[in-house]
Structure 1
Amino acid sequence: MTDIWVPLVLTVLAGLATSIGGMIGVAGRGDSRRLMSMGLGFSAGVMIYVSLVEILPKGREALISEFGDAAGEWLVLLAFFGGIAVIALIDRLVPEEINPHEPGTVDDRARQRALMRTGILTAIALGVHNFPEGFATFIAAIQNPEIGVAVAVAIAIHNIPEGLAVAVPVYQATGSRRKALRWATVSGLAEPAGAIVGYLLLMPFISDGLFGVVFAAIAGVMVFISLDELLPTAEEYGEHHWAIYGLVAGMAVMGISLVLL
């Protein structure tokens, strides 16, 4: 265990990475199809690698230690696909036209106009998506600070293109850099909120077994986001090879960072 302030700071920093994407968007680089394609591929590579190489094995180890080989193996399997099921359900419940993870959001003029008219609903949609990510970072850092840093880096990298995807249409719709940056930042602040709410709800039940389930579920969530949202969106920009280059680069960077950690 570690002091909760360290995990909270990691979660806040990971969440605020959307502001970096927002700054890229309002600086005039948001229309670079190659940049967006490679950036989204990079995010997917980071998340897939850290999920399958670091997070899922840690969850498996904790569950086998707590419940034995057979039960532990079944629990990690159920938790992994349970995480996928939860994030898939969230994606289905959020209307497609305001879903920040759906392909085509950057170039969709209708969504640009609707974004400002439905600000509160958009904020709720972003919060629903980012709550699990914030809790993932927070709970991972509580159990193991080194894994927490790896998850925070993965989520932060994932949040940069998400912040760009939010800021670009707002900027194009309003011409206001301040409003675009504000929306990008607010979308990221849902993550520390998710961390705090999740921790308070689960605090009485925290144990090694729960950590194992959460870790396996986190891995499922991150793999699903990568395969269902990041890679298809990268392909939407028509830069297939750059998306794959980004994917491989993301895996390499995360692999090196885990070795260094």
Structure 2
Amino acid sequence: MLVAFLLTLLAGGATSIGAALGVLGRGTNPKLLAGGLGLSAGVMLYVSFMELMPQGARVLSGGDVVTASGGAYAALAFFVGIALIAVLDRLVPEAVSPHEFSGRMSGSHGHSELRAPDEQAADRALRARLLRTGTVTAIALALHNVPEGFATFVAALQAPEVAIPVVAAIALHNIPEGLAVAVPVRRATGSRTKAFWLASMTGMAEPVGAVIGYLLLAPLLTGEAMGAILAAVAGVMVFVSLDELLPAAEETGEHHTVIYSLIAGMAVMALTLIVV
């Protein structure tokens, strides 16, 4: 259990990488960002359909052979997982939704210049708006990351052989989230420290989500209930991949890089499962 928690902490901590990029004023190479997000999506989709769903169906079937009822319950749990994460996603306003950030916002270059009063007023209004955006985005991301943290924790707890690739996929997914918070907060406040720590704390919602989920659902993490949870976790991962990772990757304009990386992610996950 400690290893599962540490892996979840590592995945959430990757948000700090995006936060660091944001406060340093560096953008992300579109091709690199597209490749990272596409790779993450490939890993998560493959492990969901080829590992978590079959494993959940076997547990629900009560043996190594998947029965019709076991498969049906697994499919039901899969779509329940999708429904839950979709509802949470809809509760986040579109303007601050985690997957709406595509790295297009530029930071302040720190140039001092004498401007007209109306321009200064407009700049103050912009800074206030950016601060609100960054703060609300941080809160939205923190809430959004809770189920992701639990999903990562359960995957690591139940299937250690797929834990590392899943953690890597979630970690890559969290880097642009750190950017999404750090860039507007830094532009609004001028403080690298505030921007970095506010963005980093959103990632810590993942280990918190793992702990809360475990404390609430520990009695269910055995038997058939565990099979349903595994299938639901697969649903969560599929939704995150299709609703967040791939759209954000496509916004970079590097379509072929996204597709090639998606396939590469699946191939890496397949090779990992074969070797292990």
Distance apart, 1:87 and its partner CA: 1.0
Label 1:101 to 1:79 Cα distance change in 2 as closer, same or farther (>3 A).
same
* Of 183, 192, 196, the match for 1:177: 192
Give deviations 1:136-187, integer Å, cap 9, x for gaps: 1222222333233343233223222332333333344444433332233111
Q: What is the rounded CA distance, in whole Å, between the counterparts of 1:140 and 1:186 in structure 2?
A: 23
Partner of 2:88: 90
More helix by share: 1
**C-alpha deviation, 1:228, in angstroms:** 1.3
Q: CA deviation at 1:14?
A: 1.1
Give TM-score, length-normalised by structure 2.
Answer: 0.82
SS in 1 for 2:99: coil
Question: Given the alignment, which residue of 6, 10, 16 partners 2:3?
Answer: 6
Distance in 2 between residues matched to 1:112 and 1:98, nearest whole Å: 16
Q: Specify which of 142, 155, 165 is matched with residue 140 of structure 1.
A: 155
- Name whichever of 104-113 and 226-235 sits farther off: 104-113
* Structure 1 position 86, deviation (Å): 0.9
State how far apart, in whole Å, the 2-side matches of 1:10 and 1:50 are. 17
For residue 53 of structure 1, give the secondary structure of its aligned residue in structure 2.
helix
> What is the CA–CA distance in structure 2 between the aligned matches of 1:44 and 1:120, rounded to whole Å?
27
Aligned-residue identity in percent:
57
- What CA distance in whole angstroms lies between the structure 2 residues aligned with 1:141 and 1:250? 18
- Report the alpha carbon displacement of residue 76 of structure 1 after superposing the two structures with TM: 0.5
| Residue correspondences, number | 258
Task: Tell me whether 158-167 or 50-59 shows the greater mean CA deviation.
Answer: 158-167
| Alignment correspondent of 2:36 | 39
Per-residue Cα deviation, 1:72-98 (whole angstroms, up to 9, x for no partner): 111111011111111111111111112
Q: Report which stretch shifted further, 16-25 or 215-224.
A: 16-25
Contact 1:8 1:195 in 2 (8 A): yes
> Match of 1:184, SS?
helix
Residue 12 of structure 2 corresponds to residue 15 of structure 1: yes
TM-aligned CA distance change 1:147 to 1:179, over 3 Å: same
**Partner residue of 1:233?**
248
Query: Structure 2: how far apart are the matches of 1:232 and 1:118?
Result: 21
Once the two structures are superposed, residues 193-217 of structure 1 have per-residue CA deviations (whole angstroms, 9 ceiling, x without a partner) of 0011111111223322121111111
Identify unmatched segments of 5+ residues in structure 2: 108-124
8 Å CA contact 2:151–2:233 kept in 1: the answer is yes
Structure 1, gaps ≥5 residues long: none
What RMSD in Å do the two structures reach over aligned CA positions? 2.7
Q: Which has the larger radius of gyration?
A: 2
Distance 1:160 1:31, change over 3 A: closer
TM-fit CA distance, 1:113: 5.5
Displacement of 1:241: 1.6
